Each structure stands twice: as C-alpha cells, then as structure tokens.
Amino acid sequence: MIRRKITKARAVVQQSVAKIFNTNHSTTEERIDKPPSRFFHSPLILFTREILHNPRAMGAACPSSRKLSKALANFVPLDSQGFVVELGAGTGSISAALLAYGIPAERLILVERSTKLVEYLRKQFPQAFVIEGDASHLKELLGDKAHQVSVVVSGLPLRAFPVALVQSILKQVDLLLPNGGLFIQFTYDLRGKMLHLPRHFHSIAHKFVWSNLPPARVDVYRNEKHKENVQSII
C-alpha cells in the first residue's frame, strides 16, 4: 500500500518536472533544433552587435527613439513626388516612422552599409528598396533612381566620421537633390553646426527632441542651387 503511494507520488513529480522543462513534450533533439529565441533577433541586440563590430560607423548607443524618428519623419513633405532616401537606416526606427507618417513604401529607399542590418531591413520592410552600400557612393548605388530623389533623411553619425568621408557623402547628397530638395539630419550636437554642407544648402527648420537619450536636434536644409526657382520641386 505504502509502496504503491510512493510510486504514484514519484510519477506525479516526474510529470511535473517534465512539464516545466519541456512544455511541448518534445525530445531533447527537437528542443536543440528549435530556432533561437526572438530576443537574439531584436533590434536592440542587432544594434549592439554592430556597435561591437564597428563602433565608429554606428555612432550611437541604441536605435533612435520613437519621438526622434517621428520628428525626422514629420519634416518630409507628403506631397513631394520623388523618392525619399534614408542614409544609415540601421534597424529601421526612422524607416518605420516614415512609413507610419504616410510615405509610401514604393517611394522609400533605405541605404545601409552593414550586411546584417540590410538582411534585417529587407525582412522588416519588404516593400521598400533596401540597398547595401556606402553612402559615399550614393549616386552609383541608386542607379536610375538617382534622378528622382526629392528628400534625403540621414541617421548617419557624421560627427564621428573622418572629414573626407563626411565631405564625400554630402557631395553625393548635393548631386542627388534637385533645386528645392530637402536634406534632413539629426545630431546630438545641440548647437546644430552643420559642417561641410555646400553653401547653397539653407537651414529652413530645426527641432529639439529632449526626451531622446541623449537629447537630439533635427535640422532641415533646402538645396537652393537656383534660388529664383527654389519652390518648384516640393
């Protein structure tokens, strides 16, 4: 009688332990084959891995906050006709804000140099054009779309880059943007000194996002190559 009770109790304990460690009642091999947790594919983990590989290219401790991404996106005129190009799209926080704001995915081009982040962006935004490459070769990367750009939004950490790289990226932005086209950049330098941008880019608006960590500033510049005709594009 006592022995039967002990055997029954042992069976109950064994079943409970099995339930805790193996909720699907799968075998050990099945459990090993399971895909890794979504945690390891979260934007924050991807971003952190990239920082470890290339801290200078990332230039930030974490992806831009929703408020900062929204502040950038809201400066893009919804009625502009051409493509909106985002430089350094990372894990797509600004890209998501641009789409949520109303920029159609077919008009959004994301440029990113990291292969891993490009893979992630392609999965997240299957309708947008995601281009792997260095923003200093922008015109070449965009091919025939290079002639149809009206806005360039940048999440590039320009202050962390060598001057020569900043100059060549901004030269490409100038080549791409037509008269009246907009260049939107955020920075953690709250003084808003935009160095190396050609003189015919005029500052037309800015906004502070104090709740971002660290606080950031968004600046909007308009390309005014031909001042007399500047409103024509947007």
Window 45 to 84, contacts with ligand SAM (CB under 6 A): 50, 57-60, 63-64
Among 97, 142, 156, 209, binds ligand SAM (CB under 6 A): 156
Report CA-CA distances (Å) from 194 to 80, 202, 218, 219: 24, 11, 11, 9
Check binding of 181 to ligand SAM (CB under 6 A): no
Alpha helices by DSSP H, listed for 78-147, are 93-101, 115-124, 138-142
Smallest CA-to-CA distance from 44 within 131, 117, 135 is with 117
Check binding of 90 to ligand SAM (CB under 6 A): yes
The least CB distance from residue 65 to ligand SAM, in Å, is 9
How, if at all, do strands 182-187 and 216-223 pair?
antiparallel
Check binding of 111 to ligand SAM (CB under 6 A): yes
Q: Is residue 194 within 8 Å of residue 88, measured between CB atoms? A: no
Collapsing DSSP to helix, strand or coil, 86 comes out as strand
User: What percentage of the chain's residues is helix, strand, coil (to nearest 5)?
Assistant: 45, 20, 35
The least CB distance from residue 233 to ligand SAM, in Å, is 24
Which CB sits closer to ligand SAM, 93 or 179?
Answer: 93
Q: Scanning the structure block, which residue is given the tokens 């510049």?
A: 221
The least CB distance from residue 154 to ligand SAM, in Å, is 8
The least CB distance from residue 63 to ligand SAM, in Å, is 4
Among 70, 107, 113, 222, binds ligand SAM (CB under 6 A): 113
User: Could you list the residues that contact ligand SAM (CB under 6 A)?
Assistant: 50, 57-60, 63-64, 87-90, 93-94, 111-114, 117, 134-136, 155-157
